[in-house]
Amino acid sequence: MASPIDPTRRRLLRGGMAGAGALLGAPLLALAPAAAAPLAGLAPRGIHASYTDRLASQRTVTWFTDDLLPGRHALAYQTGVAAWQRVGAQTQRLPGRRGWVHHAAIPAPPGAPVRYQAGLAAPAGDAPLLARHAAAPGELAGWPRGTRLRFTHFGDHGITAHSVANTAAVRARAPDVHFIAGDLSYANGTQPVWDTWFDQLAPLAASVPVMTVPGNHEHEDIFWGSRAYRARLRQPGAGSYYAFDLGRVHFLALTAGALFAADRDLLLEELRFAAEDLADAAARRARGELDFIVVLQHFTLWTDQLGREPNDPTLVLLEEPLLVRHRVDLVMAGHDHFYQRSQPMAFGRPDTRRGYVQIINGCGGQSLRQISRPVQPWSAFVLDPPRYCFTEYELDGLTLVGRTLASDGAEPVEVDRFAIAARPARQRRAAARPVAQLSQLWRAAEALRAVRAAG
């Protein structure tokens, strides 16, 4: 078994993380004179921005090209009114096809607009503007309550016309960050599908950081050992799970077993990571440093999708005790291609004291599925018939206000609205418990491994 998360890595994954990342190791260069328009094979494709290790002060921009420029691919950027500068990219081969993926980290100081341009062409005034947060995360660490943060979520995206429309609808909302809860491209090992998906996502992702978790269709990229997912996206830390703070909201992004077949130790490492991370976040929430704890993952714990109801027994066994122990506020999930919102629930029953709200939004664009009737007692709302949609969350002081908007018409239409209140002090204190002893979970997980290995 691989070693548990080492302390150095844990420090990297904490919000703030000042001085931790090293991606921006390449020297800044004065911008060269305007170059000729890039040859077609050198044109940057699938440009997307993400948070990596220095949330407070930088963004990482990733893109791919079909051909390789002799020398070094680069990204030009401009912060505020300062002159354009250039940073060299780190480049690696795309798995599974001829092509290269490049990524470069650029400064994103609090409150300052950042423009950038990837590739060879001289930077232009219409270069993408990285999302300017209401305040950058560095400022957010000490945010007073009442400062707003707005983020969006869907899963199960694909490359259909519905996928394109849903992306455009999210883009029109200009969130601070967009989350995709797994099953991204449905490439299943066919690399041109990944290319198309990134091209399609770029109008949104070039300016709004997009953070993802893998789904089972990233696992089904197994022919390449999930290498396409890992190579084409940049996230905090070195693994496929990570955590960070945005203001007074803590986010924990998990594979929840999606890459189990590619890396059998990953689930065990991840459980330990989640146990430590949630204990830490709950303690900070009890001290008044945070107001909400949010988990992002592909798989649902409980569901009323026909054929998958009532739950995922592995996650109920291994993960749900942690969510309830530390009183996670919200789980953003996908996998099931419909929309369902739970009441605050624990172990399949409504529980306002200990429970979390699970939002299943597997309506990103790939397809829609049927709902099992009657729905379970914990269900608060189900969109029936299912529609393509995204969910938007806005932090308004001590309330997280949610809206789900269907994107299958000329204009987005609100189909659900809800509010999640921050927990009162008594509940916060009750959730600040020591790191869970996972020995029982280990035994269950080892038994699961044995069963799967035998199968």
The 279-298 site mask, x for binding Fe ion (CB under 5 A), equals --------------------
With a CB cutoff of 8 Å and minimum separation 6, the contacts of 4 are 269, 272, 273
CA atoms within 13 A on the CB side of 444: 14
- 137 in contact with Fe ion (CB under 5 A): no
- 392 in contact with Fe ion (CB under 5 A): no
- 216 in contact with Fe ion (CB under 5 A): yes
Q: How long a stretch of residues is the chain?
A: 455
The residue (of 52 and 196) whose beta carbon lies closer to Fe ion is 196
Q: At its nearest, how many Å lie between Fe ion and the CB of residue 339?
A: 13
**Count of residues in contact with Fe ion, rule CB under 5 A:** 5
The 320-349 site mask, x for binding Fe ion (CB under 5 A), equals ---------------x--------------
Figure out which of the listed residues 156, 269, 277, 329 binds Fe ion, where binding follows CB under 5 A: 156
Q: At its nearest, how many Å lie between Fe ion and the CB of residue 229?
A: 13
Task: Give the DSSP H/E element, type plus range, for residue 192.
Answer: helix 191-205
User: Which runs of E-coded beta strand occur in 216-338?
Assistant: 242-246, 249-253, 292-296, 330-333
The residue (of 216 and 372) whose beta carbon lies closer to Fe ion is 216
Q: How far apart are the first and last CA of the chain?
A: 20
With a CB cutoff of 8 Å and minimum separation 6, the contacts of 161 are 365
**Which parts of 157-186 interact with Fe ion (CB under 5 A)?**
183
Stretch that binds Fe ion, among 6-14, 150-158, 194-202, 268-276 (CB under 5 A): 150-158
Stretch that binds Fe ion, among 136-144, 216-224, 381-389, 425-433 (CB under 5 A): 216-224
Stretch that binds Fe ion, among 57-65, 127-135, 208-216, 422-430 (CB under 5 A): 208-216
Task: Tell me which residue of 204, 203, 205, 277 sits closest to 237, measured CA to CA.
Answer: 277
The residue (of 335 and 403) whose beta carbon lies closer to Fe ion is 335
Q: What angle do CA 317, 322, 328 make, to 5 degrees?
A: 125
Q: What angle do CA 341, 274, 290 make, to 5 degrees?
A: 70
In the complex, the residues that contact Fe ion under the rule CB under 5 A are 156, 183, 215-216, 335
